[in-house]
Amino acid sequence: MRAVLKGMARAARPLLHTLEPAAARAAYAAGAGVLEIDPAQLARVQELRLPARDGARLPARLYAPDASQALPLLLYLHGGGFTIGSVQTHDVLCRELAHLSGAAVVSLDYRLAPEHRFPTASNDTWDALEWLADNAAELGLDATRLAVGGDSAGGTLAAAAAIMARDAGLELALQLLFYPGTTAHQDTPSHARFADGPILGKAAIDWFFANYIDQDQREDWRFAPLLAPDLEGLAPAWIGLAEFDPLVDEGIAWADRLRMAGVAVDLEIYRGVTHEFIKMGRALPEARRAHHDAAQALRSAFALD
């Protein structure tokens, strides 16, 4: 991890939060694959368009390691502070989750801020999840075994979607969360401890959320799932956190709230790594272990073992 950080310092690229959103997206996309493992080759990779409530058609990508059977399905939401990131920046990760788990993965290009502010990303997530629950069979998939997951802001969207699913009577097998954001005001001790990074710090978080949401909306549980009044009956959770990450405390708090509500939780804290580590598998054994751990959680939840 230290070697990765030194390499980033030598590269001296502009910090994303100092750029305009379009430029930040381009810069993030340009660097997204630098530390990734080789992409897994899969039997089926298919571009989709999923309907949103306002008539938009949301790009998505389906990954399946086996095209001959109705596989269970994970809806995956990429990270990026609701402002950057895409299906393409998380292509390798989603391929690896499908390859290792034996399940299908649908990665969603929900709409980004500041062009589309809160709650558009959350609405897009729920619209996609609901559509997949109703139409997975048309894609040759098994709608009776459905999970939701994501990293960082995508983890926020996934956790909120787990609440919506419970409220709608949609049974999910798992919420798979890499370092999810769950608090309203980013005021935990780990936010203070890692205010200057590495990788992610206060200035970047403030920029992302200023693009996405108004201050008076921050206590909406769709942005801050920890503020949801009742978590009983939610899907079981697998949560993977990074030790040196501003978001680590709120990930632990989410695990604690779920356990207090009687929800089964598997919590892993990967030592010595930072935010975004799961996309550094070429450099970090911890990233590859997290891929395997998350895939095993999917296999267990979907009864694929």
CA distances from 50 to 27, 128, 139, 159 (A): 27, 6, 12, 20
Residue 245: active-site member: yes
SS3 26: helix
Q: Name beta bridge partners: 106.
A: 62, 75
User: Catalytic residue among 127, 245, 249, 266, which?
Assistant: 245
Instruction: Annotate 250-284 with DSSP letters as a single string.
Output: HHHHHHHHHHHTT--EEEEEEEEEETTGGG-TTT-
**Is omega for the bond preceding 119 within 30 degrees of 0, making it cis?**
yes
d(CA 177, CA 79): 11
Q: Element (H or E) spanning 241, and its range?
A: strand 237-244
User: Catalytic residue among 152, 190, 220, 249, which?
Assistant: 152
Look up tokens 């356990």; give the residue: 259
Within 8 A by CB and 6+ apart from 206, the residues are 17
Give the rounded distance of the alpha carbon of 33 from its chain centre: 17
Look up tokens 């395997």; give the residue: 292
User: Catalytic residue among 17, 78, 99, 275, which?
Assistant: 275
Mode of pairing for the β-strands spanning 104-108 and 57-64: antiparallel
d(CA 24, CA 261): 39
Residue 167: active-site member: no
Residue 152: active-site member: yes
Catalytic sites, residue numbers: 152, 245, 275
